[in-house]
Structure 1
Amino acid sequence: MKIGIVQLTSGPDIVENLALAVDGLRQAAAQGARLIVFPEATSQAFDTGRLDRQAQELDGEFATGLREAARELGVTAVAGMFRPADTVERDGKTINRVYNTALVTGPDVHLGYDKLHTFDAFSYRESDTVKPGEGLVTFDVDGTTVGVATCYDIRFPSQFQDLARAGAQVIVVPTSWMDGPEKLYQWRTLTAARALDSTCWIVAAGQARPGGEAEAGQSSGPTGIGHSCVVGPTGRREAEAGYEPEIIVLDLDLEQVTKARRTLPVL
């Protein structure tokens, strides 16, 4: 199965971000990708304003716009967006929380996975503005079962093992990773570890680093570190982007999953 990763830098405007995503979708599809993965927060980057003001349901402009493009091209797309969730009180303030959703859309599918594990770490509290999801999601592309996780989920091996037990051979991971000391090292380690835990292909699409390589290694919020990657079921890194916007297209050998599970039956 040929997959594509579109590593981009989204901004504050949902309409402009949709146009950016559709352009990337067309470029990856033109190279033969059947499953094309975008970063977390593709619809609106973190740290660009209140998420609830542009949050949309799956029948909104962003999701339907990407669906129309994916249907036209005959591909399946996965992209991070935000949906309205609930209203909570925090420190005397009323906050309209959202779901951090990975949209899955294409000719035969249109659904969302709501991120299970909110990023409450490194002095950041995603749960203040984002409501956690409640269930796992898998979908089918050309007869292959694909699971979904988002960013901070990658620190929780049981989720990836549960997706594999549900039939997933490939797990896509839209991400907007934080930069800073040891963060790239952790990202590389975790993506390889989750591939080994689940004996799946890991297809992780990250936001490019704002400011590019010139800002690399400096502490930042969860706005992207680049380094989107494809990791095989034995933990080998088959492709990796840098800090800048980039498109990766790679043909996954699904027989490697069968071989890995026969020789390393960790599930």
Structure 2
Amino acid sequence: MAEPAAVRAGRVVAVVPLRDGSSGKSRLAHVLDPAARSRLVAVLARHVVSTLLASGGVDRVVVVTSDPRFTWGALRDVVVDRATAHAEDGPPLLTDDADRLRIVLQPADRPGLNAAVDVGREVAAQDGPARVLVAHADLPALTTDDVAALLAEDAPVVVAADRHRSGTNLLLLDPPWSAPSSTGLMSSSASERHEGRARQVFRSRFGVDSLAAHRAEADRVGARATVVQRPGTATDLDTLDDWSELPAPVRAAVGRHVPALHDGEAG
């Protein structure tokens, strides 16, 4: 077995955009009813957030959502100790990870995935410069080894490609590129600002063909980028084709909560 990657030093904040529990996974609507799709969104988000919190190099996880009530419900098992969850003699106890997880409301006047990412980057920058790892909330095969491998890369921009090598499932940004537009110029030195050479801001470019867009963005700002593709980072879960690409143990784990996916696979 290969040795785990050595994580580079520096504070790391993971940002997970999570829209809501009702509008996602529409491409699975032919096999999953709305309740099942909501369960799927919750199961996948819980797995991703739990994996990030269990990764030694991640200091904090920020979930940006337009639906805090759904998100708190989905992540309840992450922050509430199961042994005390239904205790009658007092409130439930929180897990050790509870203080490392923050759920942030995405403002209604800042809609969309890239805006959610920027909100998370702003939160990450509140305590000073940090490496920011943006992770989609629907990566059922993501492991702590995958996270460690990304954090060990020495490029200031690391793009984890999807299985088609067209999209971006995770994006790692080193300072100052991790700072969002509202704080990006603060990371430039005083001499650079005085000479009119303030660093350009790296813009999140999630969407169609985001792998190429993020590589082009790195070129634009003069940041070296590298592309990573690992089994645990490459497959999200939007379609039955994605489902069929997952390892059998992962399908079994997800299918326990959303059994209709097995029915769709058979059909």
TM-score by length of 1: 0.33
Which structure would you say has the larger Rg?
Answer: 2
- Structure with more of its chain in strand, by fraction: 1
Q: Which has the higher contact order (CA 8 A, sep 6+)?
A: 2
